[in-house]
Structure 1
Amino acid sequence: MTFCFGRELSCEFENWMRSISGLGVERLCLSFICGSVSVPRDPFSDRSLETLSLTAVLLASGQLEGILSSCFNLEQLTLKLCNLPYKLRFSSTVTYVTFHICGGVKEIDFQAANLRALDFHCFDNVRFIFSFVPKLENVTIHPSKADTMSYIFGDFARDLPAHVKSLAVRCGHEIKCIPIDMKMFRNIRQLSLSLFDLYDSDILNISLLLGACPLLQYLNLTAPQVEKKSTKQRGSREPPLSPMCHTKLKEVTLGGFYGSTSEIEVALFILRSALTLERMFLIPGYISPHRGNLATNVSFSDRERYSIQRELHGQAISREAVVIFYK
């Protein structure tokens, strides 16, 4: 059920919600498209409610905690364009949580025994405290500030529980400080990185991150750079990346790939170190955050494809490895 209220109807909201609570509603979407509106402190009290989506809602301190405590069977929560208090204490039965461009919040303490997936996309860098999340396995984070790399591989990575198995990161700017002793990534099986506005040489630092993920099975790396060297200008190579063994890595996708010097080095590094690699996908296109999330329409020319194939041919340590070019 989806509702939309204007400010003039906010006084009736509590009565309406009490009526809805008696209907056994399982999925409720509230969208205040006429502008952000405050809701009563305890508008929800429904044992049937399993999915709740709030858009453009003003939540005062303690209000979200009250909503969560009154919805005993809530499994999925989505907050979009909401104004949140400075600190949140997230204690609930919720399994899946999404924060999408919410403002105000600076610290979230998760004490959620059933939480399995967290999707966080906000403009501000938020401190996450994972006090009790024994089932958390999938984390997606899309920060938007300029210093996101130091945040992701600094405070966020330091506090990420070691049992998280799938991490998806989307951010931009240079890859600078990636600590090589990141124990919090040691159980990651699936890693998706969408990194934008990089320089060609920055992508080489990805090898440090792979070294911190010994159980990694699936890697999806999209890293279109702002400055690339043509495939014709490979006379001055960077020193080759140090080889290491990856015994679990099965599938790798490299998006925004054009065959620059550093991109070839990363591809060779993976081919030479992944003992069980089955497929490597090379994709010149990518999803651009500056074009409404539309796929950039590019493809390999025959000359580029031949040049890249010549560089990578016969370099895989795995006998099962196949390099696949996507248009």
Structure 2
Amino acid sequence: MDELSIGQELSRLHYLQVKYCILQKLDIRAPNLTMFLFAGRMIPILLGDAVKISEATVELITSSDCFSYVFTDLVDALSHVSSLSISFRIETKVIKFVKNQTRLTNLRRLVLKIDIVGSPEVTGGILRLAYLLELAPALEELVLHMCCFDSAIDGEPNEDAYRPHPHHHLKTIKMTGFYGLLGQVELALYLLRSATSLERMIIDPVVRNNWFTPSMGGAKPNIDRGTSIALNKLSRQEFRKVLDILY
């Protein structure tokens, strides 16, 4: 089945799960859909005007950088969700980045499971995630589960890389898999300075909840390096009340 396309409105459909189907397109009209689960390749996903959808989980299976697809196609398809979880891959080198006019105005909780590949000293690809604060103005909880496939190179972050974008609702941030890549450090600084209502930010160097989780023994050098970099670059007086670095 190359395409799942249903022209008739599915007014009684509340739950849709599509996993590991080799589809080229998913096109249905389900105005009362409340939950959507998808695992597969980057394809056009059209759900009609599903204004009641509250929760969505998407797992993208690809070796390519998925940033543009996630923040354009997926955002357009899931613009009404309040809770969203996405698993995808990005590269540290910026491939393409065009801001979307659509906003996730109902989104309160966002979990991103991100595999990061590329040169650890290149920051642009990771810093694109700063765009989340513009995209989801009502976001309250942000979880970034990261898995890096290269060891960090200790360097000085460019603290003016992105001008802070004030966000008044974000209260909790958790970053796991913090190996201390320069892009991770700069992203953490950006979030700390932009979230004006932040109550707690947790930095955890251990990789958690990704499809690939390295053994603790094999990952220990990266965990130790990530902890050291977090303590050296982020542990500052201005963040003392909200920042919690696990080690």
Secondary structure in structure 1 of the residue aligned to 2:47: strand
Given the alignment, which residue of 282, 285, 289 partners 2:211? Answer: 289
Partners of 1:96 and 1:116 within 8 A in 2? yes
Aligned to 2:67: 149
Give, in whole Å, the separation in 2 of the partners of 1:284 and 1:182. Answer: 34
| 1:185-206 superposed Cα distances (whole Å, 9 cap, x missing partner) | 2332211111213333121111
Secondary structure in structure 1 of the residue aligned to 2:190: helix
Aligned to 2:85: 168
Of 198-207 and 85-94, the range deviating more from structure 2: 85-94
Alignment of 1:265 with 2:186, yes or no, is: yes
Q: Partner amino acid for 2:197?
A: T
Alignment of 1:254 with 2:172, yes or no, is: no
Given the alignment, which residue of 108, 113, 125 partners 1:189? Answer: 108
Identity %: 25
Change (3 A) 1:92 1:126: farther
| 1:130-182 superposed Cα distances (whole Å, 9 cap, x missing partner) | 2231211212111212343332233333x324322222111113264343344
CA RMSD, Structure 1 to Structure 2 (Å): 2.7
Given the alignment, which residue of 107, 119, 125 partners 2:42? Answer: 125
Q: Partner amino acid for 1:254?
A: M
Shift of 1:306: 5.5
Secondary structure in structure 2 of the residue aligned to 1:271: helix
Could you state the TM-score of these two structures normalised by the residue count of structure 2?
A: 0.80
Q: Which has the higher contact order (CA 8 A, sep 6+)?
A: 2
| 1:236-267 superposed Cα distances (whole Å, 9 cap, x missing partner) | 74743211211000111111102232222111
> Which runs of 5 or more residues in structure 2 are unaligned?
none
Q: Partner amino acid for 2:29?
A: Q
Give, in whole Å, the separation in 2 of the partners of 1:267 and 1:315. Answer: 13
Give, in whole Å, the separation in 1 of the partners of 2:116 and 2:229. Answer: 25
Shift of 1:125: 2.6
Alignment of 1:91 with 2:10, yes or no, is: yes
Pairs within 5 Å for 1:194-209: 194-199=113-118, 200=120, 201=123, 202-209=125-132
Q: Partner amino acid for 1:149?
A: F
Give, in whole Å, the separation in 1 of the partners of 2:97 and 2:237. Answer: 30
Change (3 A) 1:95 1:295: farther
Secondary structure in structure 2 of the residue aligned to 1:206: helix
Shift of 1:229: 3.0
> Which runs of 5 or more residues in structure 1 are unaligned?
1-83
Give, in whole Å, the separation in 2 of the partners of 1:264 and 1:208. Answer: 16
* Large movers: runs of 4+ above 6 Å: none
Partners of 1:171 and 1:195 within 8 A in 2? yes
Partners of 1:251 and 1:277 within 8 A in 2? yes
